[in-house]
């Protein structure tokens, strides 16, 4: 397989020759590396896609004390749950555009026409989505923990659970994004179909922080989050690939 | 096995739990009835609509046939 | 080995014609069992010594909850059959199962809430079962919303079938995690529906109601499927003949 086999369908995204050359080394996972690179560069250029979910996250969390009152004890009790629910929403809102651009300009169709399975391209896109939303959310979380008076024991578990959990969220949300990509205004529908599937991640995400705050070991909860991530990484791209093919028929 | 209540009134009162028991049963039965009735009504409307469509098609076909016949009659007279 | 029966099973026309013979039996048996179960449960089953008469709600709450969950699997499995064997009928069954399942989930939620008032003193508790039921309700609503969102029917069929399948993989995980979450937050509460501790005189009406609900489900699912078949196949020749149109005369 030459570099072009993968490069051509996405030619409008201007692959550099050098990207095509390195790609040969990753021929076992067709198109993964090339697509990953391109997506990363693309999202780095569309800065609003990275910044907006984060701004949303911070703004809504800043509303919370205004809504429920500034008592530090109450805020610190609610902090893990609030931060986690807001991460859910921020991920979900940013997910709508995951396949949208590629669907509208036709490159999704080109990708689907390739002989290789869609698994790796989808995984590459989800990985980039996680890198530009989930990881920054996790990095911002200590700041918000401080604003919401989170106990000192909670910072590290919050960060690590967000890193693991948002990866699962990105994967699960990709299924919803793929299912709704052909619809004109999928925003609320996407939330409706995906939110219930986020429940386990939310429970074990906040569970991790709560366990640490209560002085227990949070390893088990983290292990469950990891297990969820493993299952999601195996199955969600498959389901997304199927959903993309369905959406393309529409 | 015997009836657990000594009067109909005590059956409805359910020893103070009447409102809860009857509300639960009432709503459940309502929903179940709606589940069974809705498709029957839907079928009836669909059948009516389709039959009406069929009648319209039939009428149109007849009209076309009549028009063709009168056309032929005019032609033979000429 | 012929697969003819399997493909015949997938034909909406075959199903529509055959099912009209089953319907009265199915409906009659379902309504009979439900009527017997309701009268038995309301009037003849003994009163619970701890909860009084409010426990009688169990006779609709538990069967509805059973069917709500089973209905999701029925919906997802028929969706899967549709995706794999491209069978028209199974997509119709899947779509028909969604509102029925949602309605049964609603019954389970409503009766659970009403039962909670005399038992726990409040209508809503974030009990593990009730919370799982609520999430199941959302899952149903999601499938319904997605199936209705597509302008092309086949896309809606396939998309919602896929979503139902994803939900099926998730349901056990959701149930387990909600269970764990509940034990974490409220370690000691009464367990209400322990089947092992229930007296036979209370259990037999429950079994009757569960059987009645299963039959009722089958009956209503058939009714909904038939209505939807008629709607979808309205332009086909067999529906036209069914409604009294003359057979086409090939010139």
Residues of C in contact with B39 (CB under 8 A): 220, 223-224, 226-227
Q: Model-level pTM?
A: 0.86
- Distance separating alpha carbons of residues A161 and A200, to the nearest angstrom: 13
Domains held by chain A: number: 1
* pLDDT at A27 exceeding the cut of 60: no
Domain span at residue A153? 3-249
- Phi, then psi, of A116 in degrees rounded to 5: -75, 155
Residues of chain B with pLDDT under 70: 78
Instruction: Find the mean pLDDT for residues C22-35.
Output: 92
Least confident of A133-142, B6-15, C220-229: B6-15
Higher pLDDT, A4 or C140: C140
C-beta of residue A202 within 8 angstroms of C-beta of residue A172: no
C-beta of residue A10 within 8 angstroms of C-beta of residue A107: yes
- Distance separating alpha carbons of residues C45 and C39, to the nearest angstrom: 9
- Distance separating alpha carbons of residues C74 and C222, to the nearest angstrom: 13
In C, minimum Cα distance to B11 occurs at C43
Question: Any CB–CB contact under 8 A between A204 and chain C?
Answer: yes
pLDDT of residue C246: 65
User: Minimal Cα–Cα distance from A164 to chain C, Å?
Assistant: 17
Mean pLDDT of chain A, nearest integer: 84
Question: Any CB–CB contact under 8 A between C149 and chain A?
Answer: yes
Residues of C in contact with A221 (CB under 8 A): none
C-beta of residue A207 within 8 angstroms of C-beta of residue C184: yes
Interface of C with A in 81-140 (CB under 8 A): 83, 135, 138-139
Question: Any CB–CB contact under 8 A between B48 and chain C?
Answer: no
Buried b (16+ CB within 10 A) or exposed e, A136-166: bbbebbeebbebbbbbebbbebbbbbbbbbb
pLDDT of residue C185: 63
pLDDT digits (tens, 9 = 90+) for A193-223: 999 999 999 999 999 999 998 888 888 899 9
Which burial class, exposed, middle or buried, applies to A27 when counting CB atoms under 10 A from its CB (0-12, 13-18, 19+)? middle
pLDDT of residue C187: 44
Residues of B in contact with C53 (CB under 8 A): 14-18, 21
Torsion of CA C26, C32, C37, C39, to 10 degrees: 160
Question: C211: pLDDT confidence band, cut at 50, 70 and 90?
Answer: very high
- Distance separating alpha carbons of residues C139 and B41, to the nearest angstrom: 27
Q: Which of B11, B23, B50 sits opposite C243 (nearest CB)?
A: B50
pLDDT of residue C190: 44
Which burial class, exposed, middle or buried, applies to C191 when counting CB atoms under 10 A from its CB (0-12, 13-18, 19+)? exposed
pLDDT of residue C153: 87
pLDDT digits (tens, 9 = 90+) for A10-20: 444 444 444 44
Mean pLDDT of chain C, nearest integer: 85
pLDDT digits (tens, 9 = 90+) for C114-149: 888 888 788 888 878 888 899 999 999 999 999 989
CB contact under 8 A, B28 and C60: yes
- Distance separating alpha carbons of residues A141 and A206, to the nearest angstrom: 13
- Distance separating alpha carbons of residues C45 and B1, to the nearest angstrom: 8
* C-alpha closest to that of A205 among A227, A222, A229: A222
CB contact under 8 A, C135 and A199: yes
* pLDDT at C194 exceeding the cut of 60: no
Which burial class, exposed, middle or buried, applies to B4 when counting CB atoms under 10 A from its CB (0-12, 13-18, 19+)? middle
The overall longest dimension of chain C from CA atoms, in Å, is 79
Q: Which of B3, B28, B32 sits opposite C43 (nearest CB)?
A: B3
Enter the ipTM: 0.84
Question: A38: pLDDT confidence band, cut at 50, 70 and 90?
Answer: confident
- Distance separating alpha carbons of residues C239 and C229, to the nearest angstrom: 10
Question: A236: pLDDT confidence band, cut at 50, 70 and 90?
Answer: very high
Residue A175: other Cβ atoms inside 10 A: 29
Q: Which of A193, A204, A243 sits opposite C145 (nearest CB)?
A: A193
* pLDDT at C79 exceeding the cut of 90: yes
pLDDT of residue C186: 52
Task: List, as one string, the DSSP characters of A13-53.
Answer: G---HHHHHHHGGGTTSTTHHHHHHHHHHHHHH-HHHHHHH
Instruction: Find the mean pLDDT for residues C184-194.
Output: 50
CB contact under 8 A, A179 and C145: no
CA atoms within 13 A on the CB side of B74: 6
Q: Which of C107, C117, C223 sits opposite B28 (nearest CB)?
A: C107
CA atoms B26, C212, C5, C84: torsion sign:
positive
Q: Which fold has domain C24-44+54-232?
A: 1.20.120
* pLDDT at C162 exceeding the cut of 90: yes
Buried b (16+ CB within 10 A) or exposed e, C94-129: bbbbbbbbbbbbbbbbbbbbbbbbbbeeeeebebbb
Question: Any CB–CB contact under 8 A between C227 and chain A?
Answer: no
């Amino acid at each position: 397989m030459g570099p072009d086999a993968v490069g051509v369908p996405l030619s409008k995204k201007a692959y550099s020759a050098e990207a095509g050359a390195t790609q040969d080394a990753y021929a076992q996972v067709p198109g993964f590396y090339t697509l990953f690179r391109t997506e990363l560069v693309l999202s780095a250029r569309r800065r609003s896609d990275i910044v907006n979910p984060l701004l949303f996250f911070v703004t809504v969390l800043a509303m919370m004390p205004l809504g429920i009152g500034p008592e530090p004890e109450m805020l610190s009790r609610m902090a893990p749950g609030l931060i986690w629910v807001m991460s859910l929403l921020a991920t979900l809102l940013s997910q709508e555009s995951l396949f949208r651009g590629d669907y509208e300009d036709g490159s999704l169709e080109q990708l689907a026409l390739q002989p290789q399975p869609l698994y790796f391209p989808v995984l590459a896109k989800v990985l980039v989505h996680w890198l530009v939303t989930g990881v920054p959310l996790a990095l911002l979380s200590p700041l918000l923990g401080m604003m919401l008076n989170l106990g000192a024991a909670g910072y590290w578990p919050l960060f690590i659970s967000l890193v693991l959990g948002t990866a699962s969220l990105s994967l699960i949300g990709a299924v919803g994004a793929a299912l709704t990509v052909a619809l004109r205004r999928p925003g609320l529908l996407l939330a409706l179909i995906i939110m219930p599937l986020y429940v386990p991640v939310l429970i074990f995400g906040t569970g991790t922080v709560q366990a640490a705050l209560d002085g227990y070991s949070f390893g088990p909860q983290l292990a469950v989050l990891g297990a969820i991530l493993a299952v999601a990484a195996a199955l969600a791209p498959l389901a997304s690939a199927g959903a993309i093919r369905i959406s393309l028929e529409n | 096995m015997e009836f657990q209540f000594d009067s109909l009134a005590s059956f409805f009162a359910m020893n103070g739990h009447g409102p809860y028991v009857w509300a639960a049963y009432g709503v459940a039965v309502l929903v179940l009835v709606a589940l069974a009735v809705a498709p029957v009504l839907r079928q009836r409307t669909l059948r009516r609509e389709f039959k009406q469509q069929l009648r319209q098609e039939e009428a149109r076909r007849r009209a076309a046939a009549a028009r063709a016949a009168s056309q032929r009659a005019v032609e033979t007279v000429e | 080995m012929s697969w003819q029966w399997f493909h015949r099973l997938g034909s909406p026309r075959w199903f529509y014609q055959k099912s009209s013979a089953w319907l009265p039996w199915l409906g009659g048996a379902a309504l009979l069992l439900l009527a017997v179960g309701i009268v038995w449960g309301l009037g003849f089953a003994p009163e619970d010594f701890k909860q009084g008469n409010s426990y009688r709600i169990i006779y609709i709450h538990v069967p509805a909850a059973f069917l709500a969950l089973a209905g999701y699997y029925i919906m997802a499995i028929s969706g899967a059959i549709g995706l794999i064997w491209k069978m028209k009928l199974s997509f119709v069954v899947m779509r028909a199962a969604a509102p029925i399942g949602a309605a049964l989930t609603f019954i389970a939620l409503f009766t659970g809430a009403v039962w909670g008032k005399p038992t726990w003193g409040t209508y809503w508790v974030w009990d593990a079962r009730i919370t799982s039921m609520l999430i199941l309700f959302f899952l149903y609503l999601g499938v319904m919303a997605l199936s209705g969102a597509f302008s092309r029917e086949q896309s809606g069929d396939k998309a919602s079938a896929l979503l139902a399948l994803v939900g099926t993989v998730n349901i056990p995980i959701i149930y387990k995690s909600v269970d764990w979450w509940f034990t974490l937050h409220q370690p000691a509460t009464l367990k209400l529906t322990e089947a092992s501790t229930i007296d036979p005189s209370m259990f037999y009406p429950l079994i009757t109601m569960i059987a009645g609900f299963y039959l009722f489900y089958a009956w209503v699912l058939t009714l909904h499927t038939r209505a939807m078949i008629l709607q979808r196949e309205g332009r086909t020749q067999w529906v036209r003949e069914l409604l009294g149109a003359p057979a086409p005369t090939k010139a």
